Chain A
Amino acid sequence: MSGYACLVVEDSPMMRQLIVFALSRIKNMTVTEADDGIVGLKKLAQTRFDLIITDINMPIMDGLKLVRKIRSDERHKDVPVIVITTEGSREDRERAMALGASAYIAKPIQAPQVIETVKELLKIG
């Protein structure tokens, strides 16, 4: 296995850093960061990713719109997408899952939970 490429779309630098830290614990994982949905789409247009992690609440383009765009694109429609939600926003979570998100993680995020979800989706033993 040559490695995995993950795109993290998150406007909060603190959250991004935490997610990147968690992903760095997975072997052969390279991470690309984007601070909003538009930047995320640009990165998706340039590179092929094995996994996408996106926050829902973001300015400019939110995570739900990004999930819809990803799923409507032939190139990325099968790429697993994890959405980061706040525990209270059940509606957002359900909408994201209905739009084709593969899993969700509620804030405050914990590195072990991120690692476990990513490994499960990428089928890393």
Chain B
Amino acid sequence: MSSRKARAPEQPADLRAEREQFVRSFLHKGVELTEDLIRENQSLDQQVRQLQDENVQLRAQLASNDAIRELLQKIEGLERDRKALLNRSSELEREFEQRSELHAEVEHELNNLASLYVASFQLSGTLSVGRVVRHMCELLEQLVGAQSFVIYIVSADGTRATAVGARGMQVPTGSLQIEDSPLGDVCLTGVGRVLEPEQPRKSGEPLAVLPLVFDGEVVGVISINNLLPHKRGWANVDRELFKLLSAHGATALIAANLYAKEAGPRAALHDVLFHLENERVRQLTEAESEAGGDV
């Protein structure tokens, strides 16, 4: 009992303290809770801001990716254009090369034709024996590039040759026996004999022997002994010049020689009508005899 009595006054105080304790604890917890909530709120707020930042970054990245994609597409397009241009450029380069080659060929041909024209023009442009021989020499020297050569006329029986012009050596005097020699062979066959400069030759053997032919008959020969040092071999145009010399040289020499006996150009033509008539009669006679033969 006494302890009950002793404790009685303490009970309300305990309760109060307990209540106060509870209230304090409650309030404390409330504060803590509030503080937690505030912290959480702040953290969430921070997260939201972070997310917003990330969002902005992601959007920017997306936009940048689009731009990159667009740029890549452009680059691809430009690359295609570049390849097309390179192809076109190669094509044009090939075309240009082909045209250059063609141009060089045309130039070369033109040069050859000019040489042939000049040679023919000069040979046919005179009726002086001396000038014909000079032109023949110049043609061989200047256009062909022959260093030493002799131009011969052949005797009626074709066994002897007499020099009428030469360059790079003395004009041989008197007439030469040409049978059984390269000159004689060419005289006999009417076919030129042209060796290559690097081909081995016997001592004194000419590099080329060319016939001067008129009406199927060899009237002269040209013997080329050497070419100019810088001329390594024959060019195609040289062979054309040989053909021209062979035909036109012979004609020019014969014409000039016949003309030398005439008093002048008009006098040289005085019996043209007579010769025309003679030719006409001969042709008629030949035609009649052919017709008679057919019957």
Q: Which residues of A contact B (CB under 8 A)?
A: 12-15, 17-18, 21-22, 86-88, 106-112
Contact B114 A18 (CB under 8 A): yes
Known contacts: A17-B118, A21-B118, A112-B107. The answer to whether A107 contacts B142 by CB under 8 A is yes
Which stretch (B67-75, B78-86, B133-141, B207-215) binds chain A? B133-141
Contact B114 A111 (CB under 8 A): yes
Q: Which residues of B contact A87 (CB under 8 A)?
A: 228-230
Q: Pick 18 A–B contacts, CB within 8 A, sort by A.
A: A14-B118, A14-B135, A14-B139, A18-B114, A18-B118, A18-B142, A21-B117, A21-B118, A86-B228, A88-B147, A88-B228, A107-B145, A108-B142, A108-B143, A108-B144, A108-B228, A112-B107, A112-B111
Contact A14 B122 (CB under 8 A): yes
Contact B121 A109 (CB under 8 A): no
User: A21-B114, A108-B228 known; 18 other A-B pairs, CB under 8 Å?
Assistant: A13-B125, A13-B135, A14-B139, A14-B143, A17-B121, A18-B115, A18-B143, A86-B228, A87-B228, A87-B229, A88-B147, A88-B229, A107-B141, A107-B142, A108-B142, A108-B143, A108-B231, A111-B107
Contact A15 B138 (CB under 8 A): yes
* Contact pick for A14, options B138, B147, B230, CB 8 Å: B138
Residue of A nearest to B138 (CB): A14
Instruction: Answer yes or no: B119 CB below 8 A from chain A CBs.
Output: yes
Q: Which residues of A contact B229 (CB under 8 A)?
A: 87-88
The interface centre, meaning the residue of A15, A18, A22, A109 with most chain B CB atoms within 10 A of its CB, is A18
Main SS class of interface, B? helix
A15 to B134, CA, bound (A): 12
A107 to B230, CA, bound (A): 10
Instruction: Answer yes or no: B110 CB below 8 A from chain A CBs.
Output: yes
Q: Which residues of B contact A (CB under 8 A)?
A: 107-108, 110-111, 114-115, 117-119, 121-122, 125, 135, 138-139, 141-145, 147, 228-231
Contact B118 A12 (CB under 8 A): no
Q: Which residues of B contact A88 (CB under 8 A)?
A: 147, 228-229
Residue of B nearest to A19 (CB): B118
A110 to B228, CA, bound (A): 14
Contact A12 B228 (CB under 8 A): no
A109 to B114, CA, bound (A): 12
- B262 vs chain A, min Cβ distance (A): 23
Q: Which residues of A contact B142 (CB under 8 A)?
A: 12, 14-15, 18, 107-109
* Contact pick for B110, options A15, A108, A111, CB 8 Å: A111
Contact B118 A108 (CB under 8 A): no
A22 to B138, CA, bound (A): 18
Contact B122 A17 (CB under 8 A): yes
Q: Which residues of A contact B122 (CB under 8 A)?
A: 13-14, 17
Q: Which residues of A contact B107 (CB under 8 A)?
A: 111-112
The interface centre, meaning the residue of B110, B111, B117, B145 with most chain A CB atoms within 10 A of its CB, is B111
Residue of B nearest to A84 (CB): B142
